[in-house]
Amino acid sequence: MKKITLLPAIAALLLAGCVQVDDYAKVVKAPAPQWLAGYWQSAGPQSKMVSPEAIASLVVTKDGDTLDCRQWQRVIAVPGKLMQRGDSLYNVTQKRDVYSVELDGETLDYAGMTLKRVAQPTVECQAAMAKYEQFSVVQPN
């Protein structure tokens, strides 16, 4: 009987560090820190991607709008917004996926991948950006 009552407490401790979003519309958008606004792209093959040829891009506006753009045989671009919880920064996509965003020297740790700053995203991601008004003017720092 004691084992059963401990199970919910153990589960609560394990999940305490997780971030969950139930309603995307209720997420409060945080402005991007100066170091984050702009274009980021995967730096070489990533184990979290389907193929070594796949490319991941993250577009971040100063206002905190994001576009998670991944491409291999097709382009999947999902808009989102930055969310701050304590000292941690997250990208929450419209699909309610939540990814931590951390700067590590000159690279960005994002969704289990390593991204580097680039002058502009791939042509395919630029086409995806054109579908959303909030990405018409992204001013990288």
Residue with the two structure tokens 């992204």: 138
pLDDT of residue 51: 81
- Prediction pTM value: 0.81
Q: How far apart are CA 136 and CA 10, in angstroms?
A: 46
Q: How far is CA 87 from CA 22, 24, 60, 90, in A?
A: 21, 20, 18, 10
- Average pLDDT of each block of 10 consecutive residues along the chain (141 residues)? 44 46 89 95 77 90 96 94 95 95 94 94 94 76 50
Residue with the two structure tokens 């519309």: 25
Element (H, E) at 129: helix 123-129
Q: Which domains does the chain have, with CATH numbers?
A: 23-135 (2.40.128.500)
Task: Identify the burial level of 106 via C-beta atoms within 10 angstroms of its C-beta, where 0-12 means exposed, 13-18 middle and 19 or more buried.
Answer: exposed
pLDDT of residue 44: 74
Using alpha carbons only, give the angle 36, 39, 43 rounded to the nearest 5 degrees: 100
pLDDT of residue 34: 93
pLDDT of residue 138: 62
